[in-house]
Chains A and B, each alone.
Chain A
């Protein structure tokens, strides 16, 4: 199974400041199509997960452009250019290259 590791576990943020979350996989997530099967989700308090970034760097529909994803191989990063109050919640990375699909442990983002 592919193991997904996120850091940090908790991320206190200041509104208007940037934030960054790291995700590392135990093996490359590069598919033969040339895409990395790495996705980012945000789970707001009391809500279902919502897709933010798919295939490593593509913003999902309706996601603000302050969110961006980057990385390749086994190392990926989610960046928020200027954090807003509505961005609080738990962020998960997930690999969909092979079954079982696996998630990182989550990064809790909260306002300072």
Chain B
């Protein structure tokens, strides 16, 4: 069974940093590109970033470019999102999902709250 478990969310002040993790199991992690998708409270879904299977290519939504960095550790079946210079409008539940072309499996999400 495919499992994606996010962690690392919490309350952070504006301008602060946070690192999210996603632990993957039940599939060959190194064969799958991975995404981060977020959902602000009461709002719709917004794709944030994608990383290719070997980590050589990364893509971001414009609003996070230069502030967020997606990475992965295939040896540990783990996906990460380093978030710097956080703003109030980054407040959201962050989901990791599997596959760039058909995001088919999603974790339960981790809540990031940016507030003073």
Contact = CB atoms under 8 A, between A and B. Distances in A.
Given A48-B95, A48-B109, A101-B50, A54 B44 contact: no
A12 interface: no
Contacts of A100: 47, 59-62
Contacts of B95: 48-49
Chain A's interface size range is 20 to 34
B102 A55 contact: yes
Contacts, number: 54
A51 B104 contact: yes
Given A48-B108, A48-B109, A103 B46 contact: yes
A12 B37 CA distance: 28
A60 interface: yes
A49 B102 contact: no
Name, among B62, B102, B107, the residue most crowded by chain A CB atoms within 10 Å (CB to CB).
B102
Nearest to B61: A100
Contacts of B108: 48
A104 B44 CA distance: 8
A90 B42 CA distance: 11
B47 A103 contact: yes
Given A49-B106, A51-B103, A103 B45 contact: yes
Interface in A94-108: 94, 96, 99-106
Contacts of A94: 45, 47, 103
B76 to A, nearest CB: 23
A50 B59 CA distance: 23
A92 interface: yes
Contacts of B47: 94, 99-103
Interface of A: 37, 39, 41, 43, 48-51, 54-55, 60, 90, 92, 94, 96, 99-106
Given A49-B106, A90-B44, A101-B50, 9 more contacts: A48-B106, A50-B106, A51-B104, A54-B102, A92-B45, A100-B59, A101-B35, A101-B47, A106-B45
